[in-house]
Amino acid sequence: MSNFSKLGLSPNTINVLDQLGFTKPTLIQEQAIPLLLQNDPCDFIGLAQTGTGKTAAFGLPLLDLIDADQLVTQALIMSPTRELGQQTAKQLEDFSLNHENLNVEVVYGGTDIVRQIKALRRPTQIVVATPGRLLDLIKRKAVKLDRIKYVVLDEADEMLNMGFKDAIDELLAYTPESRATWLFSATMPPEIRKIIKKYMSNPKEVTINREEKSNKDISHKYVMTKTANKLHALRRFLDLQPEMRGVMFCRTRRETQQIAEELSEQGYNTEALHGELSQQQRDKVMKRFKSKSIQLLIATDVAARGIDVDDLTHVLHHTLPDQLESYTHRSGRTGRAGKKGVSLAFINPREGRKITELEKRIHVKFEHVEVPGVESIKEQRIRNWTETLVTTKIDKQAEKLFGSVEDSFDHLSKSDILKKLITMQVDKLIQQTEEADLNEKFGGSPEKRDSSKFNKYFINIGTIDGMSKKDLLMFLSEIAKVDAKFFGELIHKKNCSYFEVDKRYDDGISSRFQNVHLDGRSIRMNREDRSDREPKTKKKFRPDRKFSKKDHRRSKRRKR
C-alpha cells in the first residue's frame, strides 16, 4: 500500500500527517484522495463501512482544495448527529494545522444557538453541521451557502434513516448548482440512489469491499438464553472479562435506562445513553466513556449514531435490531484499525431465525457460545471481591469499632476468618432468581423439559419440502395459533416431522390444520397418541385454506 505522499496531497498536509503519526492510508483514502484532487471539481460517491477512515478520505483533499485566503464559506459537511459532527470538525482542525487563515466551525442542535451565530461571524471556510440546526441558522441569516464549492454528505444512509431527506433537499437548494457533491455512505439503499440521480452528474465512485472490511476483524457470536436471563448472562461475561469495554444496544429508552441502573447498582461501571437525556447529560456520559471511566455504555441505536470511540473490544446486542442492516452499523464500532473485536448477540430461542438471516445477508458465520457456568462465575466474583477487599482503605469509623470486636476473633486463625468471609459472600454472589445454567437451545432444552407436560404430534412436512427446522416451527406456530415458546422437541425428517406442544396450549390444535395446503398438497397432522384424540371444537374455521412457501415467506416479513 502506498503512503500519503504518493496521493497528490500538498507538502503542508503531508507534514501535518507525519506529525500526527499517520503513515499509511486506508483503502478508501488511497483510492478517493487522488480522484478528488485530480478531477476537481467532480461529484463523488464513496462506499465504505464505518471505521474505515472516510473522514480523512474527504477531509484531506478538501483542505488542499479550499482557498484559505477567500474569507467566505466554501465547503459544507452535513453530519447525521452532533457527535459525528464534533468528531469530523476536530479531525479537520488537526489536519489543518499548517493551513493558515483556514477556519472550521461545527454547528448542531441542543446547544446555545447565539454562541454559534457569534462563532460564524468570523471568516469560516468550512462549516460542519447537522441538517436541522443549519436550516435554523440559514433562516436567521447567520450563514450563507451561495459561495459553496463543495458539499459533503457524510454517513448519508444514516441521515436518511433519521428522516433528514427533506432537510437535505432544502439545504442543497441554497447552494450553487455548480457545486461538487461528495457522498459517503456505508450502504446504498434506494433513497441514496435517488439523491445521486437528482444532485450528481457522472460521479466518480469508489467502493471498498464493505462486507470483508467490516467483518474480517470482528468475531460474530451469539448466546441463547431466556429473555429474563439476558441481564444475568451479561453479568457473567462482564465478570469473566474485566478488560471488556464496549457498547450494548437496546431497543427502547426505558430498557436502556433500566439495564444501566441495575448494572450500576450491582457494582458495574455502566451508564445509559438515550434520547431522553439532555445534551449536557449526553456530553458528560460520552466524556466519561471516552476517558474509560465507564466500562459499558448502554445505548439505543439513535442515541449511539455518530459515536466513534477507539479501542472498543465488544459490541453487545441485548436485542437484535428490527432492521437487520443496522446490525452492520452496530458491530462496525469494534474491530477497527487492525484490532480485533467481538460482536455478541443475546437471543432467546425464538430469535434464532434472525441469526440465520444475518448470516445470509452480510455473509458472516456466527459462532454459538455458552453462557459461563455458575461455578466459574463464583470463582471469578470471589477474586473480584478479594481485590476490592485488599484495596479498600480503612476509615476512622472502622478503627474505632475494631477495638470492640477484636477479642471475638482471638480463637480464629487468619485462614478461618477468610473462609468465613468467603462463605458469607458466596451466597450473595449468585442471585436467588438466577439459574445455574442460563443456556437455552432452539425449541427448548430437552434436559430441562418435562416430557409429561407435552403432547406429541406428527405432520407430513419434512426437509424435502424446503423448510428448515426454524421455518417449520414458525409455520406450526402460525397455523396452530400457539406461541413458538410453547413448542418442545422438534424432530425434522426427510418426509415428515414430529413435534411437541405444551398440553396447556394445544386444545383444538389438530382442527386448525384441517384444509391447510402447502404448495397444493394437503397437510396431514395428528396426535401420535391416537387413543387420546382431541374432541371436536365448535369453533368455525375457514375452509380450504391454501398455504405456499411464498405465503410463508411473506408472513415472516410481516412478523418482522
Question: What's the rounded mean pLDDT across residues 543-556?
Answer: 53
Q: If pLDDT is split at 50, 70 and 90, which confidence band does 556 have? A: low
Q: Is 10 helix (H, G, I), strand (E, B) or coil?
A: coil
Specify the range with the lowest mean pLDDT, choosing from 2-11, 65-74, 87-96, 423-432: 423-432
Considering the domain boundaries, does residue 338 fall inside one? yes
Q: Are 111 and 32 found together in one domain?
A: yes
What share of the chain in percent tops pLDDT 70?
Answer: 87
Count, residues in the chain: 560
User: Looking at residues 130-138, what average pLDDT do you find?
Assistant: 95
Considering the chain, what is the average pLDDT of its residues? 84
CB 302 within 8 A of CB 233: no
108 exposed, middle or buried (CB, 10 Å; 0-12, 13-18, 19+)? buried
In a domain, 523, yes or no: yes
What is the domain count for the chain? 4
CATH number at residue 150: 3.40.50.300
Range of the domain at 509: 451-559
Tell whether 338 and 193 lie within a shared domain: no
Is the C-alpha dihedral spanning 210, 214, 217, 222 positive or negative? negative
Task: Dump pLDDT digits (tens) for 219-266.
Answer: 999 999 988 899 999 999 998 888 899 999 998 888 999 999 999 988
Which cell numbers hold the place of 325? 442492516
Q: What is the DSSP code (8-state) at residue 501?
A: E
90 within some domain: yes
Flag whether 18 is in a domain: yes
Domain co-membership, 92 together with 109 = yes
What gap in Å lies between CA 246 and CA 295, rounded to an integer?
7
The stretch 143-160 carries a mean pLDDT of: 93
User: What CATH number should be reported for the domain holding residue 524?
Assistant: 3.30.70.330
pLDDT-derived band at 477, boundaries 50, 70, 90: confident
Q: Are 78 and 159 in contact (CB under 8 A)?
A: yes
8-state DSSP, 457: E
Q: 339 and 202, same structural domain? A: no
DSSP for 293-328, written as a single string: --SEEEEEHHHHTT---TT--EEEESS--SSTHHHH
Q: What is the mean pLDDT of residues 117-143?
A: 95
Of 157, 163, 154, 144, the residue nearest 182 (C-alpha): 154
**Residue 220: helix, strand or coil by DSSP?**
strand
Is 238 within 8 Å of 262 (Cβ atoms)? no
Query: Could you tell me if residue 441 is inside a domain?
Result: no
Other C-beta atoms closer than 10 Å to the C-beta of 355 total 18
Query: Which carries the bigger pLDDT value, residue 103 or residue 111?
Result: 103
